[in-house]
Structure 1
Amino acid sequence: MKVKDETLGMWLGVLGVAFFAVTLPMTRLATGTQEAPQLSPWFLTLGRAALAGLLSVLFLLATRSPLPRRHEWKPLGIAMLGNAIGFPLLLAYALRTVSASHAAVVTALLPLVTAACAAWVLHQRARLGFWLCAMAGSALVVVFSVLRAGEQQFGFAWGDLLLVGAVFAASLGYIYGAQVTPALGAERVICWVCAMALPVTLPGALWLWPQQPIATSSWLGFVYVGIFSMWVGFFAWYRGLAMGGALRVSQAQLLQPFLSILAAVPLLGEPLDLVTLGFAAAVVATVVAGKKLSQARPATLSTQRNVHPKEST
């Protein structure tokens, strides 16, 4: 049963990543560029969280969900700051100045950062082979993303620094959300995260409601990131992290840049070539190898006696 749960957890993680992958092109559609701005980054951040928050309140009421316990408010609060505010805000500002392909270069670091956070926060451990696969996969993603950027100059300019901040915000949000998922359930975690933010996000979104005409495509991008990126995707993602292990399932994020590029073909008109498919196949291979090597070495009897129940996966 444990092996089946871990496999299902991995697939749920991939499903969540697929939802999240479309966030880059959809955010770009929603915010526009500096030359042709659409929705402001602040409105997009608060508005998408408010939309998800309203849906969350309906879900919590319909399921008669009890209030979180006292010790669960802190991880929920950190998840709220990371996933509902920090990541979307920094990403929206970054995508005003860099392309979706360029953003994939830095956001490709999410698997390593999330795995490091899992090892630190959840006390999860893995073999050296796992870390080597994670590093190899991330290196492949970075090399591909640099090549995909074409003639764009790759360097840590202002937009890149914003993306680095977004990566750290998302990673902490993922891990602290996963920490309370076994007790609250995946659906209730993201619902409480979004509902907690409503006193700020709803008034803020109404106050910042755009006065100028906004393109239909930008509103469609807003609806997508509000429902799928901010809400539905986390249902699958948090459940996957809890069932398959945050350290292992986080490696599914290696696929996200390639799924983003695939989504950008119809949404942004970006071309797709054989180089993309080749690198995608190589990254999938590192994910599969990393999953096989992610199981920690069996603990000795003396070690098992010293393991706290909360530290086991």
Structure 2
Amino acid sequence: MNAIELVVLAAIWGASFLFMRMGSSEFGPVPLIALRVGIASLVLLPVIASATSRRHLRSHWKPLLVVGLTNSALPFCMFAYSTLYVSAGLDSILNATTPLWGALIAFVWLKVNLTRDQILGMALGLVGVLILVWKQLTATQGTQTLAVLAVLVATLSYGFAGHFSKRTLAGLAPPLTAWASQFFSALVLLPGALYWWPQHPVSTSAWWAVIGLGVLCTGLAYVLYFRLIAHAGASYAMSVTFLIPVFGVAWGALFLHEEVGMQTVLGCLVILVGTALATGKLQLIQRWRAA
């Protein structure tokens, strides 16, 4: 059952890149994400029904605000911006660099020593990114290069948020963190959403994309994610990172007719191998030395 839930979660989060690509061109990145986190906070609203949750919210609102900014508001907007210029499949692959940034931040900020496998993994991750974006870097498509950089800012932000939440919110119930991050994100993004609200009619398909993002890819996905953590452990739940690109590329090709070439496949494989090394899921040098 856990394996099925993991695959379902990967399929849902892989679809988020499809929905963002469908909605960002009509809503604009900031209004789209403001709607996404606002809807998600409503879906997760029962989390704060208890007096204990509300007390924890009042005592931890400052770090929860930081997590909301760095784990939702900023990275979601960066991804939404990037989908204006690059494919949903490419976005989902680059999303897999999050653990690489997490390992680097742990080394720089928390002074955690890196193994040779982890260093090799980060180097491979960089090579994978270069493979994916080489055409954009060697051409005159500056907007696509900026879009890729926006995604890397998003994954860097995810990496920071993960370590920050572990240091400041260790005793807090994960569902409360999930709700608060969406709620504070909605508050922060509300002024920008009103300022950049589209002046033209928005299509029905774009509205459905927003609903899919808020209800399915954020609200319900968090519930499923925390269920996996409770039943199978955090490490098992976080392995969803390796499956998301598969579905992100598949949904983009199936529904948006995005091209999947050898460059995309090769870049994806290199990033995933690098991520596996950087997170300790795969060991090459240590096994080679032990052989």
Same fold per superposition (TM over 0.5):
yes
1:89 CA drift (Å): 1.6
How far did 1:146 drift? Answer: 3.8
Partner residue of 1:28?
21
Per-residue Cα deviation, 1:233-272 (whole angstroms, up to 9, x for no partner): 3445577599446xx9767535543431112122211245
Aligned-pair CA distance for 1:122: 5.9
How far apart, CA to CA, are the structure 2 residues paired with 1:103 and 1:280?
Answer: 11
Q: Specify the alignment match of 1:291 in structure 2.
A: 281
Q: Kindly state the Cα deviation for residue 216 of structure 1 after the two structures are TM-superposed.
A: 2.4
Q: Is the 8 A contact 1:105 1:142 kept in 2?
A: no
Which residue, out of 64, 81, 86, partners 1:76? 64
CA gap of 1:77–1:125, structure 2 versus 1, over 3 A, is farther
Q: Matched residues, percent identical?
A: 21
User: Structure 2: how far apart are the matches of 1:15 and 1:74?
Assistant: 33
Matches within 5 A, 1:265-276: 265-272=253-260
- 1:110 corresponds in structure 2 to 98
Q: 1:95 and 1:124, CA in 2 relative to 1: closer, same or farther beyond 3 A?
A: same
Describe the shift of the 1:205–1:275 C-alpha distance in structure 2 as closer, same or farther (beyond 3 A).
Answer: closer
- For residues 258 and 171 of structure 2, the distance between their equivalents in structure 1, rounded to whole angstroms, comes to 43
Q: 1:16-95 residue pairs with structure 2 within 5 A?
A: 18-32=11-25, 38-61=26-49, 65-68=53-56, 72-95=60-83
Matches of 1:29 and 1:164, distance apart in 2: 21
Is 1:216 aligned to residue 204 of structure 2?
yes
- Please identify, of 218-227 and 267-276, the stretch whose mean Cα deviation from structure 2 is larger: 267-276
Q: Distance in 2 between matches of 1:226 and 1:73?
A: 22
Contact 2:94–2:129 (Cα < 8 Å) also in 1 = no
Q: Secondary structure at the match of 1:214?
A: coil
**Alpha-carbon offset, residue 51 of structure 1:** 0.8
DSSP 3-state at the match of 1:269: coil
Q: Tell me if structure 2 keeps the 8 A contact 1:136–1:286.
A: yes
For the 8 Å contact 1:28–1:95, the answer to whether it is kept is: yes
Q: Deviations over 1:169-226 (max 9, x none)?
A: 2322333334456422322211121233454456765776545322222122211222
- The 8 Å contact of residues 106 and 142 in structure 1, kept in 2 or not, is answered as no
- Tell me the amino acid that sits aligned with residue 265 of structure 1: A
Aligned-residue Cα RMSD (Å) equals 4.3
Cα deviation for residue 28 of structure 1 reads 0.8
Distance of 1:14 and 1:118 partners within structure 2: 28
For the residues of structure 2 that align with 1:178 and 1:281, how far apart are their CA atoms?
29
Instruction: Work out the CA distance in 2 between the residues paired with 1:157 and 1:121.
Output: 28
- After superposition, the C-alpha distances for 1:21-57 in whole angstroms (9 at most, x for unaligned) are 322221110112xxxxx11222112111111122222
What is the CA distance between 1:72 and its match in structure 2? 3.6
Amino acid at match of 2:39: L
Q: Give the TM-score normalised by structure 2.
A: 0.72
CA distance in 1, matches of 2:153, 2:9: 21
> Counterpart of 1:230?
218
Distance 1:142 1:217 in 2: 34
1:300 aligns with none
SS in 2 for 1:67: helix
